[in-house]
């Protein structure tokens, strides 16, 4: 997001942005927030939603962690591993994969539950186990081999990414122009 924010601030130097990063579900109206990004399936609400794309996810671990245990070959093998669980997706203690042989749902366990993707990435780099991370937390580590893409023959469902806002007529020109830039640049951070 920061490259997009920087581009916006460069184009509109007189505008002040109040940017908040949180993985909790906030009430936009109560908290006075004009625009939010939400990852995952949306619940019914009075908010307007604009789909920006989907967020690919990867199952990753460090090579050091994988040297301490057998490399998983199938989702069932995850039962013998420490899994860093994201509690905001339901059910948190089950991971689902797709392959040419169908859907595989596996119960997972681990020493920690973490409700922030950046903190999950850090936990992985501290060799605490495997985690399912969004592309922006995983791709660079996979590319530079600091992370291993585990079970690459099994896909993990991508999650939809939406911009949500109360109603267009209540949106400030600042929020409307930022939404326009998000839509224009969304291909840089989603698939």
Domains (range + CATH), the chain? 2-51+161-188 (3.40.190.10), 57-149 (3.40.190.290)
The residue among 145, 170, 183 whose CA lies nearest residue 62 is 145
Percent of the chain with pLDDT over 70: 97
**Mind listing the pLDDT tens digit for each residue in 62-94?**
999 999 998 999 999 999 999 999 988 778 889
**Better-scored residue on pLDDT, 77 or 26:** 77
Residue 191 has a pLDDT of 61
- How confident is the prediction for the chain on average, in pLDDT? 91
**Better-scored residue on pLDDT, 145 or 29:** 145
Q: Which residues are within 8 A (CB) of 138 and not within 5 positions of it... i.e. 6 or more apart?
A: 57, 58, 60, 121, 147, 149
**Mind listing the pLDDT tens digit for each residue in 154-163?**
999 999 999 9
d(CA 110, CA 94): 11
The residue among 112, 104, 114 whose CA lies nearest residue 137 is 114
d(CA 61, CA 67): 10
Residue 169 has a pLDDT of 73
Q: Which residues are within 8 A (CB) of 41 and not within 5 positions of it... i.e. 6 or more apart?
A: 159, 160
The residue among 154, 179, 153, 160 whose CA lies nearest residue 168 is 179
d(CA 159, CA 56): 7
87-106 mean pLDDT: 90
Locate 182 and state its tokens: 């998000």
**Better-scored residue on pLDDT, 154 or 25:** 154
Q: For residue 41, is pLDDT > 90?
A: no
**Mind listing the pLDDT tens digit for each residue in 128-157?**
999 999 999 999 999 999 999 999 999 999
Residue 168 has a pLDDT of 67
**Better-scored residue on pLDDT, 26 or 130:** 130
d(CA 118, CA 10): 26
């Amino acid at each position: 997001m920061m490259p997009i924010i920087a581009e916006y601030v460069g184009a509109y130097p007189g505008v002040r942005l109040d940017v908040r990063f949180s993985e909790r579900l906030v009430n936009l109206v109560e908290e006075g927030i004009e625009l939010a990004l939400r990852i995952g399936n949306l619940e019914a609400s009075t908010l307007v939603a604009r789909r920006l794309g989907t967020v690919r996810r990867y199952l990753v671990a460090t090579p050091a962690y994988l040297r301490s245990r057998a490399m998983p070959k199938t989702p069932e093998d995850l039962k013998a591993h420490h899994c860093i669980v994201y509690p905001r997706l339901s059910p948190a203690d089950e991971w689902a994969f797709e392959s040419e042989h169908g859907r595989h749902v596996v119960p997972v366990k681990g020493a920690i539950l973490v409700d922030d993707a950046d903190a999950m990435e850090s936990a992985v780099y501290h060799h605490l186990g495997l985690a399912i991370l969004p592309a922006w937390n995983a791709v660079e580590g996979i590319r530079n081999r600091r992370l291993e893409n585990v079970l690459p023959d099994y896909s993990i469902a991508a999650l939809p990414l939406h911009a949500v806002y109360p109603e267009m007529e209540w949106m400030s020109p600042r929020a409307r122009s930022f939404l326009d830039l998000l839509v224009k640049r969304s291909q840089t951070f989603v698939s």
